[in-house]
Amino acid sequence: MKNKKNRNKKLTGSSYLKDKIFSFFGSGKKYLKGFIFPEIRVGVRRISLNDKNRKDFCLDLYDTSGPYTDPRISVSISKGLPKIRSGWKKESLNEGQKKSTVSSAVTQMHYAKKGMITPEMEFVALREGCTPYLIRDEVASGRAIIPANIRHRELEPMIIGSRFLVKINANIGNSPVSSGLKEEVEKMIWAIRWGADTVMDLSTGKNIHKIRETIIRNCPVPVGTVPIYEALEKVKGNIHQLNWEIFKETLIEQAEQGVDFFTIHAGILMKTIPLAMKRKTGIVSRGGAILAKWSLYHGKENFLYTFFKEICEILKKYDVSFSLGDGLRPGCIADANDEAQFAELKILGELTKLAWSHDVQTMIEGPGHVPLHLIRENMEKQIEYCHGAPFYTLGPLTTDIAPGYDHITSSIGAALIGSLGTAMLCYVTPKEHLGLPDKEDVRNGIMAYKIAAHVADLAKNHPLARRWDDAISEARFEFRWEDQFRLALDPETARKYHEPASLKKILALDRCCSMCGPEFCSMNLSQEVKKCYKRKKKFINR
């Protein structure tokens, strides 16, 4: 009991949070150590189980929650997380290959092309259960990225690529009419506790700079932004006053802070805007609409396109990754897979090549709203046009009719596109189209997307996927309720949905639930069938 008390007390990170329950019950934090770089320690969530057949059996799960779930580390929001990457060796293992000729780049792609293994690569390899060589080769080819700004020293690196576990991103950030710093930092901490692999700070309201600073200093996962939002704040919302200088200044400021990836809407051009004007819902990307308006006002090509080389020069100095924004993503079923969308995708493919020539890591953003039968075409065209760069999609939402349930309409599309090769899924919360998500919406969005990502991993036969399903199914069949809760994606909800204590007394020995009662419980019956079968096996004519 004493231990438990101390543990709660030590979690000063969680003392910042209203709700004190932070670690999942039955889960502990364990660390895997690096081989090439022994200073590396990769946290995993270890779930202890009571399987009679296998003593001391436990399951290690990929862990995005960082130091917050380690009772031995005391976290102070004002000080920020420990800067783990400062202690990592800068030199990498050189295997003699030299492909890159780009100077002054410090990107993972730069090192990978040179045949080097970085601490970041080994960290990621330990998380994914593969060799660092696979990581290096995928990063070198552009098929995967490790978003890791050299200034984000609190980061636990992760990889985004179709050969690896499917990742999910959670959008947070305030708006001019709602929420502040405390709420947004709290959302970030809960988001990674529930499993967000990256977070995007989409703040457009007050204190953008301060909110971002606090988030990055306390965030163990990559942080993404859409820099045009802050640039627009600088010109007080007057789109026509935007220009390259203001944008460049914003980019550098954010890169200096440690932002790991930037959404850049460089694919929205004079020739593609008219294609979107025929649509039912026009341009639904905020960044896309801003840049289209700027272009039309000035009669000039989008400055993110014209200054793309200059942007690459900045990004390669910090190893900020591109997330090439789909400013023309469809905003409804009627607009899916149209000329505008695919014309922009082609441009993003050209820009990918340009970014790669600067050794800047790049992923491509994708739709949006797409009916189920048109999803495959998105993936195929993306691979073709964008030369295998990782795809990062918003949903897609597979119908427009269910505001309030768009975490579900979109997790259907996300699971499918994930199984086809999309590397990261941007979550959608139940509040999509209706309002700014609160903490509970963030949880519902993340759960729906953790499901979609895992469903995709299973469908892709990822070696780390099935053992989780098998462990929970075995626990279920053997009525190890406690193990089933511990293994649940959301242990607290699973336990809450189970029976109240009063009812448990009626249910003999916990060998059933109120759905069927003991007599009609199929798991119970099936155990009996199994016993009966063993006794009578010899009499049965197979």
Kindly state the smallest distance separating residue 36's Cβ from a copy of itself, in Å: 32
| Minimum distance, C-beta of residue 406 to a copy of itself, in the bound complex (Å) | 9
Nearer to a copy of itself, 155 or 446 (CB): 446
For residues 249 and 400, which CB has a smaller minimum distance to a copy of itself in the complex? Answer: 400
Give the nearer residue to a copy of itself in terms of CB position, either 101 or 473: 473
Question: Three-state SS for 481?
Answer: helix
User: Are 233 and 208 a contacting pair, CB within 8 Å?
Assistant: yes
User: In the numeric block, which tokens belong to residue 140?
Assistant: 């070198």
| Cα–Cα distance for residue pair 287/278, rounded to 1 Å | 19
Dihedral sign (CA 178, 182, 185, 189)? negative
* Nearest in space to 79 (alpha carbons), one of 156, 16, 29: 16
Q: What single-letter amino acid sits at 157?
A: P
CB of 537 to a copy of itself, least distance (A): 8
Instruction: Specify the 3-state DSSP secondary structure of 360.
Output: coil
Minimum gap (Å) between residue 48 Cβ and a copy of itself: 17
Name which of 217, 177, 218, 184 is nearest 201 in CA terms: 184
Beta bridge mates, 466? none
Is the Cβ of residue 210 or residue 496 nearer to a copy of itself in the bound state?
496
Shortest distance, position 284 Cβ to a copy of itself, whole Å: 5
Min separation Cβ 432 and a copy of itself, Å: 8
Toward a copy of itself, which CB reaches closer, 133 or 520?
A: 520
Q: Are strands 321-324 and 362-366 parallel, antiparallel or unpaired?
A: parallel
Q: How far is the CB of 536 from a copy of itself (least distance, A)?
A: 5
Which is closer to a copy of itself, CB of 87 or CB of 529? Answer: 529
Preceding omega of 368 cis (within 30 degrees of 0):
yes
| 40/446 with CB nearer a copy of itself | 446
Pairing of strands 391-394, 362-366: parallel
Select 93 or 246, whichever has its Cβ closest to a copy of itself.
246
Q: Which residues are CB-contacts of 125 (< 8 A; sequence separation ≥ 6)? A: 131, 132, 134, 135
Report the C-alpha gap between 353 and 308 in whole angstroms.
12
Q: How far is the CB of 292 from a copy of itself (least distance, A)?
A: 5
- Length of the chain equals 542
- Do residues 390 and 323 lie in contact, with contact meaning Cβ atoms separated by under 8 Å? no
Q: What is the 8-class DSSP label of residue 27? A: E
Least distance CB 202 / a copy of itself (angstroms): 9
Strands 144-145, 160-161: pairing is antiparallel
- Of the pair 79, 373, the CB lying nearest a copy of itself is at 373
CA 214 to chain centre: 20
Q: Write b or e for each residue in 236-266: b if 16 or more Cβ atoms lie within 10 A of its Cβ, otherwise e.
A: eeebeebeeebbbebbeebbebbbbbbbbbb
Contacts of 368 (CB under 8 A, 6+ apart): 284, 326, 329, 330, 331, 336, 341, 393, 394, 395, 396, 397
H/E stretch holding 522: helix 522-536
10 or 460: whose CB is closer to a copy of itself? 460
Min CB(150)–a copy of itself separation in Å: 30
* Of residues 81 and 283, the one with the C-beta less far from a copy of itself: 283
Q: Which is nearer to a copy of itself, 228 or 312 (CB)?
A: 228
Angle at 447 between CA 498 and CA 159, to 5 degrees: 140
